[in-house]
Structure 1
């Protein structure tokens, strides 16, 4: 809500801070990665309960053109903003290894 379409890259950095990673496949994309894990008992291993990747897409003029909030739902990448699962393509090939890196399964 604090990052409207058309916001500048500087505005995004002020609101969100430094991104976890940046991609420059077809324009620039900032990825903010978060993961929540819980432990039932102190000596048990942690179990990942939620994983999110907020992707902010920029045009050539460094203005926001699209926002996406990806999560891992039943082992598939899922965009919680548009409620869609992307088909195979450039974005899927980048995000799949990203989720594998942050997954503890």
Structure 2
């Protein structure tokens, strides 16, 4: 009976401690949110300069055949400050220009329309091979040449 009571107390304390760690989720907004009033200032047929004046500098551009401006915004949530945020909403406004530099059409895409657009990558690629701690030990640490010299007695 005493063991059952101690187990119930332990479960209650653990549940309370884990609930305290959860806290409120954090919402992060990133990018340029275009409202309808601002979008009305750059209708189909307007010039590239008018789009830049009304909507501002685009998040990204594409210059394949005709130029395209992309205005991208994302909403991310994370349950705790140390967790990686997850994208819950994404909006991409694409402004397509014709060969004369006038707005040909506007496209509005959401997260359901395609792939997540990574505005900021938080991973920096490194050059060379990635070696684990055990691999470094087997190779002789940071100075494998010095290790070989010590083993051979040439130091």
TM-score (norm 2): 0.46
- 1:29 and 2:46 matched: no
Residue equivalent to 1:50: 89
Q: Which structure carries more helix by proportion?
A: 2
Name the structure where strand makes up a greater proportion of residues. Answer: 1
Ranges in structure 2 where 5+ consecutive residues have no aligned partner: 1-39, 122-155
Unaligned runs of 5+ in 1: 78-95
**Aligned to 2:108, which of 35, 49, 69?**
69
Distance 1:100 1:2, change over 3 A: closer
SS at match of 2:110: strand
Structure of higher CA gyration radius: 2
Where do 4+ consecutive residues of structure 1 move more than 6 Å? Answer: none
Q: Cα RMSD (Å) of the superposition?
A: 2.2
- TM-score with structure 1 length normalisation? 0.65
Q: Does 1:20 align with 2:98?
A: no
Which whole-Å CA distance do the structure 1 matches of 2:71 and 2:55 have between them?
8
* 1:89-100 superposed matches below 5 A: 96=115, 99-100=116-117
Aligned residues: 82
